[in-house]
Amino acid sequence: MKKVFPFFLFCVLCVIIQQGYLYVRGDFRPGKIIQKLDTEVLTPECSQNIQDLLEQKFIYLNRGHDFYAFASEDGQYVLKIPRYKFYPSFWHKLFYFTKKKIKIRKHRREILTSRFEIVKEHFKNEPGMLYLHFAETDLFHKKITLIDKLGRKIQIDLDRLFFYLQRRFTTFGTVLKKCIQKQNQTELREIFASSFELVGSRYAKGLINEDVRGWDRNYGVFDDLIYELDLGGIDLVGGNKVFSKELAKSTFFLRKWMNDYAPEYIHMFDEEYQKALIIPPVIHAENRQKKVDKFSKI
């Protein structure tokens, strides 16, 4: 027993050191992004302009549930790379009780693969979306330089890298808080109406966003248009879900935040919500498309 305890303590220490190291570097390493997915999504030709953008270094920004985010050196673009946390590690194989987690990871891998195809079909023409690369190709013949959280440079073969490139917009949460600070009631109403319009437009395409808690960081704002920034939660509408329930679910945490931190404006939220509720999703989609048409890609 005396010999077993030091060994157990040593194993625990190793795990703590490993997890601490991963935390410091943002849980990012090349082995988590270079993987082949079972997808037949076609990747379009890449314009010279996009190729020039990808010559920049991209600096680690943060990570979500499904994607790493890297910001371009000039601060105008964001590169989103899937997190492939799907394959069992040595520790998962070693302990029997982790078999359920292995099964869950495999399921997540299948979900992300299907979401790639959804994103390619429905978001390729969004003004904030510049390029999607969801298959191994023979287009670039070069490597991209990523800088991790510790400042180290990592070069990755672009043809093997799954990613999408977006414009970098101010997040919804940042814009909302500034409007509240400035007590700009007109802009507040516009932001609420645009956010409801986005949900309706998405629903009209047969889509939902499962990540309802990320209302502040998963959306960007430019002028009077709100964009999807994080597409990891995008999925197909299932069952007999109706628009009213989807709108309520998608805006629940936003309303909760408003009620907690800016209750004096909650009546505006509720008024715009009721207006959005009686507008059919297809009309939301048409209204948003008019705004989208005003903007163009690079």
Q: 113-160: per-residue pLDDT in tens? A: 777 778 888 888 787 888 988 878 888 889 999 999 888 999 999 988
Asked if the model's pLDDT at residue 203 lies above 80, the reply is yes
State the amino acid at position 158 in one-letter form.
L
* Distance separating alpha carbons of residues 208 and 275, to the nearest angstrom: 20
Secondary structure element (H or E) that encloses residue 146, with its range: strand 143-147
Percent of the chain with pLDDT over 70: 73
How far apart (Å, rounded) are the C-alpha atoms in residues 56 and 58?
Answer: 6
Q: Are 226 and 285 in contact (CB under 8 A)?
A: no
- Decide if 182 contacts 265 (C-beta within 8 A): no
Q: Order of strands across the sheet with 225-228?
A: 170-171, 219-222, 225-228
What single-letter amino acid sits at 282? V
- Check pLDDT > 50 for residue 270: yes
Whether the per-residue pLDDT at 23 is higher than 50: the answer is: no
Min mean pLDDT across 96-100, 125-129, 156-160, 243-247 is at: 96-100
